[in-house]
Amino acid sequence: MTVQQNIETKIRSSLAPSHLEVIDESHMHSVPPGSESHFRVVVVSERFEGVVRAKFQILGAAIEPLRSTRKNARKSMTAKSGSDVLAK
């Protein structure tokens, strides 16, 4: 299973998102091909409903097991609730 697939699996099982994007952006950085080291993550989940400041802590907790095995991996994360998306 790739790092990208692991991230998707962890987030899906922890947050049951209505929308999930995990994009490998490693090719945009100075890393060897196939590094899987930089990801952009966009998550829309009802778990974030009513949460103002702790969204990234909730998302971080969902992928924490992966962080400990890939210390150099970088992730750009966007976390929204369904209401956040509709308000835009």
CATH code of 72's domain: 3.30.300.90
Tokens of 30: 């100075």
What pLDDT, on a 0 to 100 scale, did the predictor assign at position 14?
92
What pLDDT, on a 0 to 100 scale, did the predictor assign at position 75?
64
**The domain containing residue 50 runs over which residues?**
3-87
Tokens of 35: 């590094």
Residues 11, 69, 32, 56, CA torsion sign:
positive
Model confidence pLDDT, tens digit, residues 28-80 = 888 888 788 788 899 999 999 988 778 878 888 887 766 655 545 556 778 88
The pTM of the whole model exceeds 0.85: no
What pLDDT, on a 0 to 100 scale, did the predictor assign at position 45?
93
Overall domain count for the chain: 1
